[in-house]
């Protein structure tokens, strides 16, 4: 995996997990029960906590995007769903993604690696860029928004995911076998060691509940070791 970050924000951090050999299936009982418990807790809480919420929104504003209303971060949307008793249950892999977002308060993309490929770029959306994010054909404007992109051989990169809504092209399918998860963060939203813990848990859950034969993750830019 070759991942490049082209985003003018020295505080930005991406937790990235690549899992291969996964199986898309209904969430097993242990995963469903863990998610049930977390939803019950979050339903009575103001979550994400203000420092995390404010830091995530500040991160998204760095490119000029306005994260509010229908364009709120996915982590805020999931917390709202928990409070309103309408938390989505999709499948084992998406439920893992949503569990970790509801635990950490950070927005996360989970994309089909067959769509993204092995050359990945994280950058801000450009003027005029947009993609369809739901089956009814609705589009999201991407200008100024942090995007996970598939970088092609000619250097062109195509946005497939972001901290608000992932594209239909990048979303998981029943036949998906390899995935990439991207946790969007900053040093204000989560220290690097804490973000690495979330990355490691992501990999573990994709192995335990997603049947991944291989799952590896890291924080980008890479953690600096003393």
Q: How far from the centroid of its chain's Cα atoms is residue 31's Cα?
A: 18
pLDDT score recorded for residue 179: 98
**Would you give the DSSP letter of residue 188?**
T
pLDDT score recorded for residue 19: 98
Peptide bond into 48 cis (omega under 30): yes
pLDDT score recorded for residue 66: 93
pLDDT score recorded for residue 1: 86
Tell me: pLDDT of 222 over 90: no
User: Residues of 58-78 as b/e, b for ≥16 C-beta within 10 angstroms?
Assistant: ebbebbebebeeebbbbbbbb
pLDDT score recorded for residue 50: 97
Question: pLDDT band at residue 226, thresholds of 50, 70 and 90?
Answer: very low
- When pLDDT is averaged across residues 13-40 and rounded to a whole number, the result is 98
Say if CB 11 and CB 191 are below 8 A apart: no
pLDDT score recorded for residue 225: 46
Say if CB 73 and CB 67 are below 8 A apart: yes
- When pLDDT is averaged across residues 18-47 and rounded to a whole number, the result is 98
pLDDT score recorded for residue 162: 98
């Amino acid at each position: 995996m070759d991942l490049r970050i082209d985003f003018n924000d020295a505080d930005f951090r991406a937790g990235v997990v690549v899992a291969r050999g996964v199986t898309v299936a209904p969430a097993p009982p242990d995963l469903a029960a863990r998610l049930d418990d977390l939803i019950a807790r979050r339903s009575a809480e103001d979550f994400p906590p203000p420092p995390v919420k404010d830091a995530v929104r500040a991160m998204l504003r760095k490119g000029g995007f306005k994260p509010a209303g229908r364009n709120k971060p996915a982590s805020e949307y999931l917390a709202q769903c928990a409070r309103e008793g309408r938390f989505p249950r999709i499948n084992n892999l998406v439920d893992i993604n949503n569990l970790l977002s509801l635990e950490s308060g950070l927005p996360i993309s989970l994309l089909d690696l067959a769509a993204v490929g092995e050359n990945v770029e994280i950058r801000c959306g450009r003027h005029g860029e947009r993609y369809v994010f739901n089956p009814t054909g609705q589009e999201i404007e991407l200008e100024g928004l942090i995007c996970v992109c598939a970088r092609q051989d000619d250097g062109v990169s195509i946005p497939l995911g972001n901290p608000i809504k992932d594209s239909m092209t990048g979303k998981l399918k029943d036949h998906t076998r390899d995935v990439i998860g991207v946790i969007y963060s900053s040093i204000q939203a989560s220290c690097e060691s804490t973000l690495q813990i979330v990355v490691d848990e992501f990999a573990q859950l994709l192995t335990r509940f997603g049947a991944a034969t291989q799952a590896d993750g890291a924080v980008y830019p890479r953690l600096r070791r003393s």
